[in-house]
Structure 1
Amino acid sequence: MVDAALRESSYPRLESSARWAAFAMSLPGWGDEPRTPVLLLVSRRHLLSLSLHPVELQSRPGNDELPWGTRCALHVIREVLERNEALALRVEHELAGLETLPAQESPESFFQAIFRLKRNIVLAKGDLWRLRALLGTLAEGRRELPGLGGDNACLRQLAEQADYLHETIEKAHEQLLTLLDLHLNIASYDVNRFMRLLAVVSSLALIPTIIGGLLGMNIAGNPWPLTLAQVAFGTFILMLCVLYAFLAKGWLR
């Protein structure tokens, strides 16, 4: 259980008995602050927490009518939800800032910010999915948190909050993917326009190259009655015809 929790297993692990319960959750990270998995061992009067990194969770818990261990466990769960709520707010603000950038001008920093934000969203989405499943199991009574005595109203409220945050992060993820697709499609369209222009220039340059290679630079003394001016004029007319064909296909718009 300890190894699976601190190694961030994707399965929402929850073990409980009449006297104790053990479950894991993750505090979200942002910037230089690392994401931290936390394992809680809860009894009526005690709470033991294990984490990979130092975390600041020391404050007076609420629910004074409950035993101390249960109060501390609910306090940690609320703290995790509050930090995920702050993360969701940061994500929404950063997405709003990225949406103001012109789609035709996608600097390198835009894609760096998008992929960093995408990583944070995917991690938070998985953490909230596990936390929602864990709280749902406790709220439905399939497992019991010591000290509640069957009164799961607070757990149902926390489960609803986790479900709302999960939906918020999921919508932000979809919004980010839509924004990324928009910029990638516009970048791909610009590349296609450049490749079409390159194809037109190459086709036009190919005509005098072939004619010059076949006839050579000096056509005096050849058995056909052509002058250099006539060859140049014919080449120019042929290039205009090819250019008109590309223009009719819309490659020069």
Structure 2
Amino acid sequence: MRKVFYMQLIERYLTDAVLGFFALLSLFLFIAPLVFEFNDFTQDIVAALEYAIVLLFVLEYVSGLLLAKNKVGFVVDGWRVIDMLIIISALIAFIPFVPDVLRHSPVFRLIRVARIALLGARSSFALKLDNNSVDLSTNEAVIGLKVLSLGTSGAQFEVISWEQGLNRLRSGEPDWLFISGLDESRLASITAAMGVPISAVQGLFQSTSPGFDTLEHFSTFFVRYPMPMVPGARLTRTPILLVGTSENVVVLSRDHTDLDEKVQLRLASIDTKTPKMVRATLALVSEIMSAYTQVAESIEVTLTNLELAQSRLGDEAFLARTFSLRADILKARASLKHLKSVIRDLFSGKVIIAGASPSDREPFHFLADDANDLYDDIDDLRESLQGLVDLRLNVSSFQMNRVMRLLALLTALALLPATVGGLLGMNITDAPWPGTLAQIAFGVGVGMTLSLYVFAIKGWLR
């Protein structure tokens, strides 16, 4: 365990930025003998520094290899091959009796600096590939229409055709449909079958914020369903529109998701004595709530990891992560704000569910309490993130104040010898006063010492 700790310590402090600095230093050590004439002792010091830098490269490579789970993949990785070439080229130059041509090979250690830039380019390129792959999968997901109808048992869905779904809506018999992969060209057909204006469902393609509307004989509930989210990933949502009339409940989704499968599993846990229209709606809202609960848990884990890693992150990287996390929190918070209002109205009867009595709506009362608690949790995460950002800004401001105090100190100290030198001139041998150079230097030293004491008393040296 102690060996692992030391290796992790090496990986933590011998970062690419640190080794890049030493790569530049090795370049300067290579050029220095060409510019200055060194004696044997100085040349030995330069050689020792060269060996020390190579040792740092070796330590970083060996520790990374031992910590790697896939050691073969680590060795054959293109970037690690460059690391090995850097080490080998440096060691070859230090072998005695090597021709002078090979002794110039330490220049290859500059590849380490190029590696830092290439790592940044590779990361941004990989990010673009990831985004493109997500976009492609999303575009593929909307291809193909899927229509599900709640069976007579009220416990599972059955797949039906688009025309069958429209006929069921036109028949006037109570039904609960789940339609995914819907495109805008089909809106006119389904609104005509339900007897609602097309403007009531256009929000599925045009609305940007969650909400609900209640008119004379129908209600609409628009919400964004969060896709499965792992800690550190961004929040993605797809629009879901529920339309309830006195006879039917229809759920419309532009994309194919796992929501229909989760709703079907949820139906098995709801009392079968509850009317199937209420059961299906309760299962739908419960699964949306469950999805946002998982989002809150993922955001909390991400925030905790950010708190632990914030000391190792630069200001730009830290603020970039907090900005993305804050955007996800605000999205989830806005959705939950409207969701809890809709659940409350489902309980009160403002949102229509066909054939639902006040007692049938009782489960929505408990769900509304859960929605309020989840909204408070998301709001607490927002405040925690804001507190973390404020702490970072205060620390950065404090460090900047320390730098400014240090600059003021150096300026004040440099002012004394500069002023004295300007008044007395560069040569005091023929000056018309008895002061010597040692005396003047002593006076300047006393003034600088007293100035340091004043700064120390003020606390500017802390």
Residue 28 of structure 1 is matched in structure 2 by: 226
Tell me if the contact between 1:42 and 1:146 (Cα under 8 Å) persists in the aligned partners.
yes
Q: Which amino acid aligns with 1:14?
A: D
Residue 147 of structure 1 is matched in structure 2 by: 355
Q: Which amino acid aligns with 2:429?
A: A
Tell me if the contact between 1:16 and 1:145 (Cα under 8 Å) persists in the aligned partners.
no
Residue 6 of structure 2 is matched in structure 1 by: none
Q: Distance in 2 between matches of 1:130 and 1:48?
A: 17
Q: Distance in 1 between matches of 2:436 and 2:216?
A: 103
Tell me if the contact between 2:347 and 2:364 (Cα under 8 Å) persists in the aligned partners.
yes
Moved over 6 A (4+): none
Alignment of 1:168-247 (within 5 A): 168-247=377-456
RMSD: 2.5
Q: Which has the larger radius of gyration?
A: 2
Is 1:88 the counterpart of 2:88? The answer is no
**Helix, strand or coil for the counterpart of 1:75?**
helix
Tell me if the contact between 1:46 and 1:68 (Cα under 8 Å) persists in the aligned partners.
no
Residue 14 of structure 1 is matched in structure 2 by: 213
Q: Distance in 2 between matches of 1:100 and 1:4?
A: 41
Q: Distance in 2 between matches of 1:33 and 1:126?
A: 13
Q: Distance in 1 between matches of 2:236 and 2:210?
A: 21
Tell me if the contact between 2:210 and 2:224 (Cα under 8 Å) persists in the aligned partners.
no
Tell me if the contact between 1:28 and 1:84 (Cα under 8 Å) persists in the aligned partners.
yes
Residue 180 of structure 2 is matched in structure 1 by: none
Deviation larger for 143-152 or 168-177: 143-152
Q: Distance in 2 between matches of 1:220 and 1:246?
A: 34
Aligned length: 249
Q: Distance in 1 between matches of 2:249 and 2:351?
A: 18
Is 1:137 the counterpart of 2:336? The answer is no
Residue 50 of structure 1 is matched in structure 2 by: 253
Tell me if the contact between 2:336 and 2:375 (Cα under 8 Å) persists in the aligned partners.
yes
Tell me if the contact between 1:47 and 1:69 (Cα under 8 Å) persists in the aligned partners.
no
79, 104, 124: which one pairs with 2:332? Answer: 124
**Helix, strand or coil for the counterpart of 2:386?**
helix
Q: Which amino acid aligns with 1:193?
A: R
Q: Any idea what the Cα deviations from partners look like across 1:215-245, whole Å, max 9, x if unmatched?
A: 2211232333322222222111111111111
Tell me if the contact between 2:210 and 2:334 (Cα under 8 Å) persists in the aligned partners.
no
**Helix, strand or coil for the counterpart of 1:155?**
helix
313, 327, 340: which one pairs with 1:107? Answer: 313
Relative to structure 1, is the Cα distance of residues 33 and 196 closer, same or farther in structure 2, using a 3 angstrom cutoff? closer
Residue 365 of structure 2 is matched in structure 1 by: 156
**Helix, strand or coil for the counterpart of 1:74?**
helix
Residue 39 of structure 1 is matched in structure 2 by: 241
Tell me if the contact between 1:42 and 1:69 (Cα under 8 Å) persists in the aligned partners.
no
Runs of 5+ consecutive residues of structure 1 not aligned to the other structure:
none
Tell me if the contact between 2:277 and 2:353 (Cα under 8 Å) persists in the aligned partners.
no
Q: Any idea what the Cα deviations from partners look like across 1:123-177, whole Å, max 9, x if unmatched?
A: 1111100111111122123343223233311221221121111011111111222
Deviation larger for 59-68 or 178-187: 59-68
**Helix, strand or coil for the counterpart of 1:99?**
helix
Q: Would you tell me which structure has more helix in proportion to its own residues?
A: 2
Relative to structure 1, is the Cα distance of residues 132 and 117 closer, same or farther in structure 2, using a 3 angstrom cutoff? same
Q: Distance in 2 between matches of 1:14 and 1:211?
A: 81
Tell me if the contact between 1:42 and 1:70 (Cα under 8 Å) persists in the aligned partners.
no
Q: How far is 1:4 from its partner?
A: 4.6
Q: Distance in 2 between matches of 1:96 and 1:33?
A: 17
Q: Distance in 2 between matches of 1:2 and 1:237?
A: 84
Tell me if the contact between 1:21 and 1:144 (Cα under 8 Å) persists in the aligned partners.
yes
For CA contacts below 8 A with separation 6 or more, give which structure has more relative contact order.
1
Provide the TM-score with structure 1 as the length reference.
Answer: 0.85
Identity %: 33
Provide the TM-score with structure 2 as the length reference.
Answer: 0.49
Q: Which amino acid aligns with 1:137?
A: D
Q: How far is 1:106 from its partner?
A: 4.6
Q: Which amino acid aligns with 2:313?
A: P
Q: Distance in 2 between matches of 1:66 and 1:9?
A: 34
Q: How far is 1:86 from its partner?
A: 0.4
**Helix, strand or coil for the counterpart of 1:100?**
helix
Q: Any idea what the Cα deviations from partners look like across 1:12-41, whole Å, max 9, x if unmatched?
A: 3222444x3211111135435622222122
Q: Any idea what the Cα deviations from partners look like across 1:90-130, whole Å, max 9, x if unmatched?
A: 122222333334x7x25134433322222111111111001
Q: Distance in 1 between matches of 2:350 and 2:234?
A: 38
